[in-house]
Amino acid sequence: MASRDIPLTNDATLNPQFRPDRRRLLRSAAAIAAGVAAGQSVQAVAAPAMPSAVSLPPATGALGNRKIVGYMLAHEQFPVTQLAEIGETAAKAGFGLLATSDHLQPWQANERHSGEAWVTLGAVGGRLSPAWMGTTVTCPILRYQPAVVAEAFATLAQFYPGRVFLGVGSGEALNEQAATGQWPKWQERWDRLVEAIGIIRALWAGDRVSHHGTYYTVDAQMTDSPPKPIPLLTAANGKKSMRLAGQYGDGLVTDPLTWQKFKSEWQDGARQAGKDPDQMPVLVEQYVVVGDQNEAAKAAELWRFGPKAFKQYFNIPDPSAIEQRADAEVPIEKVLDAWAVGADPAIHIAKLRELFDSGVTIVNVHSGQPDQRKVIDFYGRSVLPQFAT
């Protein structure tokens, strides 16, 4: 196969080996975005001489804009052996997608667990057919190198072709800083993420990759490419990151509030890159409790960090410190504001319909209560049939 010099891109779709003035970067972005998204070889304009920027087309695979109800396998809260059982039960109940968190440590110390997500996916994949499975999200910039991420998910796809997706994001200190001692500023983390996405896609294409970038050097070929396209969903939790996720991802991973506030940023970013956002998957995580307010309050104690997770706590490397701050700063009522709580199926059906009507295509149900089977059985009997296609 041919050697591929892959792009070294940043938020203006230009090569970060070169650091022209940001205004010039932004002026040139519109001129090259369509060609980059279409997989053409293009030259940057109004900027220093650049090598060709080559981008691979999106690989939404069979996900597309299908409406799917998924289920969260929370590595923070449960040991991996139990997660395997939870995943199997959820797939049999009719959940069409199983997502896993990918952490070195839990967000809060009282969650008590943090198994390796890729190992779990490999172990449970055979039990989940025909459900999709993947991470929300893997950070391919420090703790994991992008070439290793590409190989791991290509391998998963060999076992489970057409059922694997990869969610990527710019990380949290409790994983990246804790594992490597490094925790760059937001802009560098996103520059790294964009460069990593290019490497992953190029390796998946099967060409020999010769890449000497700002952050990564890769000279390798992946001889076992994914047998079917792996959708690469990009996570975002703010205005700037939503636009970038639209530009560089095949789909989106976010939360309901961010989607509500910055949906147009993601759509504009996708269109700027020549993509149709209406044909792309959008996954949001929706917390639920099947029970009363007392049960909800107990579950919320483990996920108390949520309202400030990506405003403040993502910069804290110690789960005990996050737990202490969340206890002091976040009232339980604030945590529960956006949760679907109750034993009436109508409450849960209405929440899912609200999200689907807003343009979300995948609602990933996440319950923090200890009895996961109760939630899965309830949804399987009383909620999922309302969304069967």
Among residues 75, 76, 103, 295, the one annotated as catalytic is 103
CB 233, CB 61: distance < 8 Å: no
- Tokens coding 336: 């529960």
Does residue 103 have an active-site annotation?
A: yes
Among residues 75, 76, 111, 172, the one annotated as catalytic is 172
Alpha-carbon gap, residue 165 to 249, rounded angstroms: 12
Alpha-carbon gap, residue 129 to 114, rounded angstroms: 24
CB 236, CB 244: distance < 8 Å: yes
Torsion from C-alpha of 275, 266, 326, 103, nearest 10 degrees = 10
For the chain, the residue count is: 389
CB 209, CB 219: distance < 8 Å: yes
Strand order in the sheet with 3-4: 3-4, 208-212, 217-221
Residues whose CB is less than 8 angstroms from the CB of residue 149 and which lie 6 or more positions away in sequence, other chains included:
138, 140, 166, 168, 196, 200
- In order of 28, 68, 158, 224, the CA distances from 31 in angstroms are 5, 36, 38, 35
Q: Hey, how many other C-beta atoms are within 10 angstroms of the C-beta on 199?
A: 26
- In order of 53, 315, 318, the CA distances from 182 in angstroms are 29, 11, 14
Scanning the structure block, which residue is given the tokens 């804290």?
A: 316
Catalytic residue set = 103, 172
